[in-house]
Structure 1
Amino acid sequence: MNKVLSIVVPAYNEETTITTFFDTVEKVVKLPAGYSIEYWFIDDGSKDKTADVVRRLNAQYPDRVHYVLFSRNFGKEAALYAGLQSAQGDYVAVMDADLQDPPEMLPEMLNGIENDGYDVVGTIRTTREGEPPIRSFFAELFYKLINRISSTPMPSGVRDYRLMTRQVVDAILSLAERNRFSKGLFSWVGFNTKYLEYKNIDRTAGSSSWSFGKLFAYSIEGIVSFSVVPLAIVSVLGIAIALLSAIAIAFIILRKVLYGGSVDGWASLVSVILFMSGIQLTSLGIVGEYISKIYLEIKNRPIYIAKESK
């Protein structure tokens, strides 16, 4: 019986890369007999002509190329979720449209599942050549931090690019939370996973929509989604400051009893007040971040809204 490999491709302003991506995959991916490929392009509210490009591909290959068009930009995580929901294949691959995920690795990934007994074959980028040094530095810092404070392991350089069995995809879809961090979700569901390594590849065209600010916000999303350690740090910090304050109060009272009045120190007092205010605001910000996620979850809004699919 023919087996289907679904390729999920989130796309935002990728009109210059979609056709090249499709043609490249068709050219370089040679699957064994008895396998076929279907494509699911998820247009995440693009402002360019990405939607027109995927419509044209669908008109040319209606049985193999499918798409979902969002009503607006919901973000890559929503696009990934929509793609996994839509994909019908026995195996599902997640790839970027810019060809930074080398499609020639797909046969090896499929072999890892079919012949080596893995449920997931993922990928890890071993170099970051071509990236701004500051972005690489903070990316490495994020992985070191998240692996220290979270029980869900995330290898440094891990990509969303992976091939999964239907069982793994169904497990991920069962996690219907709105605040999604797929790298963590992929790891959290478990299953027998193998990673393949490759060197960084530049985009085929266009530019990335991921600014430093967006990546920073995304990293905060990952930390909040997969660790409560920041809340524990706030609690420990509060207790430590309370103890120090109690010691300081006892010292002031004792000095007053033994030596009389104390020397005025307005500058030091103001410095302490400002320091404590900063600690309080930071603590409130951390707690507020967690509360905001709860607030968004209990609204139970849909993860995305599709205006067209085919």
Structure 2
Amino acid sequence: MAESRQKLDIVAPFFNEAQSASAFAGLLERLEKAVSSRFGMAVHKILIDDGSRDDGAERFSLALSGSWEVVRLSRNFGKEVAVLAGLDHSRGDMVLIMDSDLQHSMDVSLQMIAELVEHPDIDVVYAQNDRREASWRRSQLAKLFYSLINSSQRFDIPENAGDFRVMRGTVARALTSLRDKRRFNKGLFAWAGFRQKAIPYSPENRAIGTSKWSRLNLIAFSLEGFTSFSVIPLRIISLSGMLAALAGVVYGAKVFFEVMFYGIAVPGYPSLMVAVVLLGGLNLTLLGLIGEYVWVTLSESKDRPVYIVRDVVRSDVSDGAAVASRG
């Protein structure tokens, strides 16, 4: 009896990517042919519509070829959750996660797959952004972020590593058991462990559409990472409070000696206002930070489903038609 072919699942979330549907479908078709010829693997494509407000799902359904399915979520749950939805629908021997905005290239995808095929002792190969185009300020902020979030951890979150990666099916199944409501995939991938290898890459220029990530989105995403995987912000605020208290003791001693030995009058209103503003600001900052952690705890304790599927459109490989199934 002939041994069945191994299968590669390609998971690609998208949100309002109708403009790039045709181009991305073409990239997937070329990637499928290359994977089939080089590695002898069958390819199944899983696209996750993260609550798009355009007709992207319909355009992908018309443009895709071969074996595929488009999973439409009931609303926009965020890219992190959409990736989980794709992993939930995956059954392949290997799983490749890539973006649908054409910034993740076919060449890097094939390089990662080759690494996984040629090295049975490796479980995950991920692409690490070399940030050649990033400004000095942005690169330094990124280094600071990873330095802080990796402090006092039993595992390290790789710097500039995103969702662009290929993993064995066992790893994908293990990741689906992590049902965090407030998801930070960089941390979850690192927390899960397994033997991982990095490959440097430079993202392709976005030829169609615009990025969905604003600066505020990135700040909120970074805060999500801290509240999910690090206690460092609380410790920084606690240390700031201790330093403020120490400064108050030193200033009080200074005032005491000036009055006792030099007869200098105690500055009343200005010193009082400085103390009130400083301590009040520290208290409000600490309360806000604690509130973020409490909100994460509350979200997890509600035990709602991470996402809801509106429906699934699958290909019928036998005749090339698309068959819709509700889920």
Same fold, TM-score > 0.5, yes or no: yes
Quote the offset at 1:209 in angstroms: 0.6
**Candidates 266, 287, 291, aligned match of 2:290:** 287
Single out whichever of 37-46 and 151-160 deviates more from structure 2.
151-160
Question: Secondary structure of 2:180's match?
Answer: coil
Quote the offset at 1:240 in angstroms: 3.9
Q: Name the aligned partner's letter for residue 275 of structure 1.
A: L
Quote the offset at 1:173 in angstroms: 1.2
**Candidates 143, 164, 170, aligned match of 2:146:** 143
**Is 1:36 aligned to residue 6 of structure 2?**
no
List per-residue Cα deviations over 1:94-145 (Å, max 9, x = no partner): 100012111222332222222212100110111342x677655543442343
Q: Which residue of 2 aligns with 1:51?
A: 57
Question: Conserved in 2, the CA contact under 8 Å of 1:128 and 1:136?
Answer: no
**Candidates 88, 99, 102, aligned match of 2:102:** 99
**Candidates 298, 305, 309, aligned match of 2:308:** 305
Following the alignment from structure 1 to structure 2, what is the Cα–Cα distance between the partners of residues 34 and 264? 81
Single out whichever of 47-56 and 209-218 deviates more from structure 2.
47-56
Question: Conserved in 2, the CA contact under 8 Å of 1:84 and 1:169?
Answer: yes
Quote the offset at 1:203 in angstroms: 1.2
Question: Conserved in 2, the CA contact under 8 Å of 1:44 and 1:69?
Answer: yes
Q: Which residue of 1 aligns with 2:234?
A: 231
Q: How many residues align?
A: 306
Question: Conserved in 1, the CA contact under 8 Å of 2:128 and 2:162?
Answer: yes
Quote the offset at 1:159 in angstroms: 2.4
Question: Conserved in 1, the CA contact under 8 Å of 2:148 and 2:232?
Answer: no
Distance 1:185 1:256, change over 3 A: same
Single out whichever of 24-33 and 179-188 deviates more from structure 2.
24-33
Distance 1:134 1:56, change over 3 A: farther
CA RMSD of aligned residues (A): 2.5
Question: Conserved in 2, the CA contact under 8 Å of 1:121 and 1:194?
Answer: yes
**Candidates 212, 217, 223, aligned match of 1:214:** 217
Question: Secondary structure of 1:48's match?
Answer: coil
Distance 1:282 1:56, change over 3 A: same
List per-residue Cα deviations over 1:197-247 (Å, max 9, x = no partner): 122311131111111110110011111111112222233333444455456
Quote the offset at 1:54 in angstroms: 2.8
Normalization by structure 2: what TM-score? 0.85
Question: Conserved in 2, the CA contact under 8 Å of 1:95 and 1:101?
Answer: yes
Following the alignment from structure 1 to structure 2, what is the Cα–Cα distance between the partners of residues 33 and 229? 44
Q: Which residue of 2 aligns with 1:90?
A: 93
Following the alignment from structure 1 to structure 2, what is the Cα–Cα distance between the partners of residues 229 and 265? 36
List per-residue Cα deviations over 1:263-289 (Å, max 9, x = no partner): 343122212211111111111111111
Following the alignment from structure 1 to structure 2, what is the Cα–Cα distance between the partners of residues 202 and 114? 28
Distance 1:274 1:164, change over 3 A: same
Alignment of 1:69-80 (within 5 A): 69-80=72-83
**Candidates 126, 140, 148, aligned match of 1:122:** 126
Following the alignment from structure 2 to structure 1, what is the Cα–Cα distance between the partners of residues 139 and 236? 26
List per-residue Cα deviations over 1:57-116 (Å, max 9, x = no partner): 46x54xx11011111111001101100101111111110001211122233222222221
Quote the offset at 1:19 in angstroms: 2.2
**Candidates 181, 187, 190, aligned match of 2:190:** 187
Question: Conserved in 1, the CA contact under 8 Å of 2:115 and 2:125?
Answer: yes
Following the alignment from structure 2 to structure 1, what is the Cα–Cα distance between the partners of residues 135 and 217? 15
Q: Name the aligned partner's letter for residue 53 of structure 2.
A: K
**Is 1:2 aligned to residue 5 of structure 2?**
yes
Question: Conserved in 2, the CA contact under 8 Å of 1:57 and 1:65?
Answer: no
- Unaligned residue ranges in structure 1 (runs of 5+): none
Q: Name the aligned partner's letter for residue 58 of structure 2.
A: D
Q: Name the aligned partner's letter for residue 56 of structure 1.
A: L
Q: Which residue of 2 aligns with 1:159?
A: 162
List per-residue Cα deviations over 1:163-193 (Å, max 9, x = no partner): 0011111221111111111011111111111
Distance 1:254 1:147, change over 3 A: same
Q: Which residue of 1 aligns with 2:323?
A: none
Q: Which residue of 2 aligns with 1:203?
A: 206
Normalization by structure 1: what TM-score? 0.89
Identity of aligned residues (%): 37
Following the alignment from structure 1 to structure 2, what is the Cα–Cα distance between the partners of residues 143 and 13? 30
- Unaligned residue ranges in structure 2 (runs of 5+): 314-327
Question: Conserved in 2, the CA contact under 8 Å of 1:70 and 1:305?
Answer: yes
Distance 1:126 1:56, change over 3 A: same
